[in-house]
Structure 1
Amino acid sequence: MSIQEKSRALMVRQHQQVKNRQQSMLMRAAQELGLPEEASNYWNPIQGKIDQTARTIYGSSNASMS
């Protein structure tokens, strides 16, 4: 696997992880508020790019669970 393929796979994986985290948090919030589950299906990337704020909030961090 070339470096380009590895970097693309890493970007795709990070993009999917951010999307999954955001939708999980939205689903939990929707359940707490009594909203329908469709509210958690919100996903609004612009031309496939994740908003920097969403990446900061839902992206991985250096903190780990023990």
Structure 2
Amino acid sequence: MSIEEKSRALMVRQYHQVKNRQQSMMMRAAQELGLPEEASHYWNPIQGKIDPTTRMIYGSSHVAMS
């Protein structure tokens, strides 16, 4: 794999991780509030880019979970 392919794969993987984290947190919140499951399927990136605030909240950090 070239450097470009590796960087693209990393970017795509991070994008999907952020999306999955956000949707799983929204699903938990929807269940707690008694909202329909469809509320957790919200995903609205602008032109395929994740909002920086969303990336900061749902993106991976360097903190290990136990």
- TM-score normalised per structure 1: 0.98
Distance in 2 separating the partners of 1:51 and 1:61 = 16
Q: Structure 1: 5+ residue runs without aligned partners?
A: none
Q: Does 1:51 align with 2:40?
A: no
* Partner in structure 1 of residue 5 of structure 2: 5
Match of 2:16 in 1: 16
Write out per-residue CA displacement over residues 16-49 of structure 1, whole angstroms, 9 at most, x where no aligned residue.
Answer: 0000000000000000000000000000000000
- What's the counterpart of residue 38 of structure 1? 38
Q: TM-score, normalised by structure 2?
A: 0.98
CA distance in 2, matches of 1:20, 1:47: 18
Gaps of 5+ in 2: none
1:65 shift after superposition: 1.6
Runs of 4+ residues over 2 Å off in structure 1: none
Aligned residues between the structures: 66
